[in-house]
């Protein structure tokens, strides 16, 4: 099973460039998330989605955009990259139904982004 797949694993951007981090999952999960993790820190939620066509902001959404046109894919778009966006980005997914939530997120391996 592939699980949650993120691409690219590494990327260096120049200030002002744009890029998209891809995330796809093959577990038919309805919930998907994007987190960023700075060195020595916990995870900060950027955006999340509870199903196709529905997205919502997390703690740190500024400078990012998302879309969820299918259940499988949840790309994260960085517009006008800034050095403050240098971080490791994790995509995650889980299945929840009604008010049932297991708490177990399945994470991708992460994408390390450097903005110079």
Partner 1 sequence: EDKVVQSPLSLVVHEGDTVTLNCSYEVTNFRSLLWYKQEKKAPTFLFMLTSSGIEKKSGRLSSILDKKELFSILNITATQTGDSAIYLCAVTNAGGTSYGKLTFGQGTILTVHP
The residue among 29 and 81 lying less far from partner 1, judged by its C-beta, is 29
Terminal CA-CA length for the chain: 36
**Residue 39 sits in the site that holds partner 1 (CB under 8 A):** no
Q: Which residues pair with 20 in a beta bridge?
A: 77
Question: How do 76-78 and 87-94 pair as beta strands?
Answer: unpaired
Q: Which of 35, 64, 74, 89 binds partner 1 (CB under 8 A)?
A: 35
CB of 106 to partner 1, least distance (A): 8
- Helix %, strand %, coil % for the chain, to 5? 5, 55, 45
Beta-sheet strands, E only, within 31-97: 31-37, 43-51, 54-57, 64-66, 76-78, 87-94, 96-97
**Residue 97 sits in the site that holds partner 1 (CB under 8 A):** no
CB of 92 to partner 1, least distance (A): 8
CB of 36 to partner 1, least distance (A): 11
Q: Which of 21, 25, 34, 48 binds partner 1 (CB under 8 A)?
A: 48
Can you tell me which residue has the tokens 């703690």? 59
Residues in contact with partner 1 by CB under 8 A are 31, 33, 35, 40-45, 48, 50, 54, 56, 58-59, 90, 92, 94, 96, 99, 101-105, 107-110
């Amino acid at each position: 099973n592939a699980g949650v797949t993120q691409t690219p694993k590494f990327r260096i951007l120049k200030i002002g460039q744009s890029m998209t981090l891809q995330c796809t999952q093959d577990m038919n999960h309805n919930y998907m998330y994007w987190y960023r993790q700075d060195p020595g820190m916990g995870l900060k939620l950027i955006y999340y989605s509870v199903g196709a066509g529905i997205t919502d902001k997390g703690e740190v959404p500024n400078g990012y955009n998302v879309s969820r046109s299918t259940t499988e894919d949840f790309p994260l778009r960085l517009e006008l990259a800034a050095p403050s966006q240098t971080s490791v980005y994790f995509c995650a997914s889980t299945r929840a139904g009604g008010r049932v939530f297991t708490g177990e997120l399945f994470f991708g391996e992460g994408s390390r982004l450097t903005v110079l």
